[in-house]
Structure 1
């Protein structure tokens, strides 16, 4: 869809998003100091209207992005399937992608487990623990085979698109695309129409991205205004160690990328810096999806491969979220003085590996998976309250890491398919 392997041009948009991020932190801290109500469980009456405005601005941007995702995933995937021409190619790419996803997920979980056991952030937490049995306010979704199936196979493509269930859209698109490929000439008008729609949606993405700095500013200002930079001191060790873990994870994934891509991995980083910054600022991997697709094609990834790998990655390859789940469960266990044996920790990793795939599309999915895992191992679910106040700050890092992981996946599968331009 775009000219392959273009050199990234100086991007003012990235600069604007970075400036918005810094301004959001500064404005948020000023609001916290002047209007915030220290020690309260929520924003002060004076701060509430400001938070509402900021939340609305962020919500507008995220809604506009979600408006783009379903038609973009459907059109790009169907066109890609039709151009591949046969189910063997689709299967080969899908298997390569899934093997990479599960390998990266297992590595993320193991690295998280290792770091938490080494650092023991929960053991040095110097704040009062929530009483056992305190309601967390989360709707617990038990990880069952029924839940897993319901989040993969759509009963209505209209419903799947309305709720942005990416995995369901992928399943329908694959059936639709393979059918288009099998009937050949008769499907040509439909494929050409969807190709046009994909180009149009990428153009719409360009329009929506002009609003990104405003959304990033509002999101950051809202978080800091409510929590204050002071919260970083209370949870400083945990936050610092978690971000160190994310940095190590990205470094490891980047090294694997270097093995297969060579110095081109640096070009990949330059291309995806804006989507990563966007995901970081809004604490949403979804917000970066349309721009990420565009940038990966500019880097030289095959559009057919990207059209299949990226949507699958958004359900199966959330490396930052996987590490966060390990960190959170063991952090809470340590905070309550519960010593989990190595065998139990390894079983927990297997549980997280599979249950995290069963709640794709559920709001606050990471926290819900963590809550379900805590109950399985008799760890107080009330411990989640320790994380709710800083979840947005942690979500920023894991969202950016998710984008990075999916970028590496798309580039590697393109390389393995000999389709990297």
Structure 2
């Protein structure tokens, strides 16, 4: 893309009703009303939400592939690629583990499941049997081998983020090592990238419709009243996630010289989209585009954002330990410190690879509990009814965590365009747009 000249006039201010975040907010409210007062009709809206998610997933692989390939090929210094990856994984490991610990501490302090005295034998486990079966199919070895696609092209058609990431890195490294012959290919891919991101902009015009359908289905099927039964768990999870974002990630942001609240405001449209669809994956292409616009280099964005969607799931990790201990407390299962640490260790491994799609957190929880026999897997039936509502909070926290990670790694690399970043957080579209080249 061509950089905007310094003397270019600022983009025309759009009318208030044309902003995506406002349209999505209205759509979410309409979906809640429809699902609450006409639940059957709301539940019938499920195909509308699903169709939007499919539209976004259709474009995710090309966005990731083109962003990573052009970013790596443009770096030339392959040592820098390895350094970015190493720093990103160091960040992921640190804060993912911290999120697990925070969930563990809050569950022990608040004890949201205490006093329920549930007998696991009385629970209907039929509804969680499918999750448990899928969890048993997930192993560390299987996860690692699944990163390698069957063919080069299947990585771009199978919908697996890590396979796309793997192939894109290889192709980018290949282009970077063939010198001038690769420059023509990179130029072509940059032109294709401009067209693909235009498609993203077109698809995002349907975001309010997708958010409406997804929210209407959630409220229509599960009902707002479902929340009352497990209000302690849901409230504790939301409050813990909020504190993690504002306190932990806020401290990281402050140490890097920016405000977490300003970053959240900058990403408000994407966050509302995540809220409406209960999936952080629905806003992945937009996150890549907006982080580049905010002055983060394409090479860092291309590596950190897609990888973070599998390895930097702060919200999912908080949920894992909090929900596991809730089930143990509700079923009167006393866990020793050693057993809780075992639970944390298993969760640390099983949480990796739970991409930002609806329901992944529940499957990962099943995988964790199946390895830690002290906590009954049957207890998952207790939280199945409210898992959809907690999925929204998981996705929001995951999304914000990956945005912060991208800024932090960009700053570590010394490649964050501070002027563009500050302009983006201030809402100065003219200056932030000028950084895209």
Partner in structure 2 of residue 275 of structure 1: 270
Distance 2:218 2:242 in 1: 22
Structure 1 distance, partners of 2:112, 2:26, is: 32
Contact 1:275 1:288 in 2 (8 A): yes
The alignment's TM-score, normalised by the length of structure 2, stands at 0.87
CA shift, 1:3, in A, is 6.0
Residue number among 241, 253, 268 corresponding to 1:246 in the alignment: 241
CA distance in 2, matches of 1:402, 1:2: 32
1:416 matched to 2:420: no
Shift, 1:295, TM fit: 1.3
Match status 1:220 vs 2:220: no
Determine whether 1:99 maps to 2:90.
Answer: yes
Indicate how the Cα distance of structure 1 residues 131 and 17 shifts in structure 2: closer, same or farther if over 3 A, else same. Answer: same
Once the two structures are TM-superposed, the CA of residue 55 in structure 1 deviates from its matched residue by 0.9
- CA–CA separation in structure 1 for the residues paired with 2:261 and 2:267: 10
Match of 1:18 in 2: 25
TM-score (normalised: structure 1): 0.90
* Distance verdict in 2 for CA 1:280–1:372, change over 3 Å: same
Q: 1:219 to 1:89 in 2, by over 3 A?
A: same
- Give runs of aligned pairs for residues 18-417 of structure 1, distance below 5 A: 18-32=25-39, 47=40, 50-52=42-44, 54-125=45-116, 131=122, 134-135=125-126, 136=128, 137-138=130-131, 139-142=133-136, 143-251=138-246, 252-263=248-259, 265-358=260-353, 360=355, 364-378=359-373, 379-417=375-413
Quote how far apart the aligned CAs of 1:158 are. 2.6
What runs of 5+ residues in structure 2 fail to find an aligned partner? 5-9, 418-437
Which whole-Å CA distance do the structure 1 matches of 2:3 and 2:228 have between them? 47
* Unaligned runs of at least 5 residues, structure 1: 33-46
**CA distance, structure 2, for counterparts of residue 334 and residue 105 of structure 1:** 24
State the Cα deviation string for residues 377-411 of structure 1 (Å, max 9, x = none): 22221211112211111001110111100000001
**Kept after mapping to 2: 8 A contact 1:57/1:214:** yes
Are residues 128 and 350 of structure 1, via their aligned partners in 2, closer, same or farther at CA, if it must alter by over 3 Å?
A: closer
Equivalent residue for 1:40?
Answer: none
Q: Give the Cα–Cα distance (whole angstroms) in 1 for the partners of residues 12 and 249 of structure 2.
A: 22
Shift of 1:194: 1.5
**Which region of structure 1 is more displaced relative to structure 2, 102-111 or 7-16?**
7-16
Give the whole-Å Cα distance in 1 for the aligned partners of 2:37 and 2:67.
Answer: 44
Q: Deviations over 1:262-311 (max 9, x none)?
A: 34x44422221111111111001110101111111222211221011111
Q: When the two structures are aligned, how many residues end up with a matched partner?
A: 404
Q: What's 1:43 paired with?
A: none
Summarize the Cα distance change of 1:8–1:123 in structure 2 as closer, same or farther, 3 Å threshold. Answer: farther
